[in-house]
């Protein structure tokens, strides 16, 4: 019984220690705000370029099928007004394979989640 009480006490102390930011450090929400870009990147600062083949708006995201060189890929970006044929530049992001969108009820073989893109030329 003592061991069970001690285990509960230690886990409670450990959980509260993990939940609070160390003294002098920002909370997770403040840190995320600090890391967010303060202004949109200039197109020349974005390393990838491609032509919009198709796109799907879903809540706060726009899923974008982009063609570049000899390949096509899917991106997920903050909701953006696009047209098929637009030339865009975009940043590197986190790629997820076999990503299932509950809202779209669709599995993407691969989708790169990005935070910024720029329309270079409109169609």
pLDDT one-digit tens code per residue, 3-58 = 666 556 556 665 555 556 666 666 767 666 655 666 667 777 788 899 999 999 99
Q: Are residues 109 and 58 in the same domain?
A: yes
Q: Are residues 116 and 99 in the same domain?
A: yes
Tokens representing residue 95 in the block: 């790629």
Unique residue bearing structure tokens 């590197």:
92
Tokens representing residue 15 in the block: 């959980």
Please tell me which residue, 70 or 63, carries the higher pLDDT value: 63
Q: Are residues 65 and 15 in the same domain?
A: no
Kind plus residue range of the DSSP H or E element containing 67: strand 61-68
- Please tell me the pTM assigned to this model: 0.67
**Domain carrying residue 49:** 43-121
- The mean of the pLDDT values for the chain is 81
Q: Model confidence over 67-79: pLDDT tens digits?
A: 998 899 999 999 9
Work out the pLDDT band at 2, boundaries 50, 70, 90.
Answer: low
Q: How far apart, in Å, are the Cα atoms of 64 and each of 49, 61, 108?
A: 13, 9, 11
Q: Are residues 31 and 69 in the same domain?
A: no
Give me the number of domains the chain comprises: 2
Q: Are residues 47 and 105 in the same domain?
A: yes
């Amino acid at each position: 019984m003592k061991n069970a009480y001690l285990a509960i006490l230690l886990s409670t102390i450990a959980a509260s220690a993990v939940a609070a930011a160390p003294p002098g450090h920002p909370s997770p929400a403040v840190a995320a705000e600090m890391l967010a870009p303060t202004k949109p990147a200039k197109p020349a600062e974005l390393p990838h370029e491609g032509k919009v083949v198709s796109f799907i708006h879903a809540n706060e995201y726009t899923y974008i099928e982009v063609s570049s060189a000899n390949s096509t890929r899917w991106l997920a970006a903050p909701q953006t007004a696009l047209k098929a044929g637009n030339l865009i530049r975009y940043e590197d992001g986190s790629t997820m394979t076999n990503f299932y969108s509950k809202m779209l009820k669709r599995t993407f073989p691969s989708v790169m989640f990005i935070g910024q893109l720029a329309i270079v030329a409109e169609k």
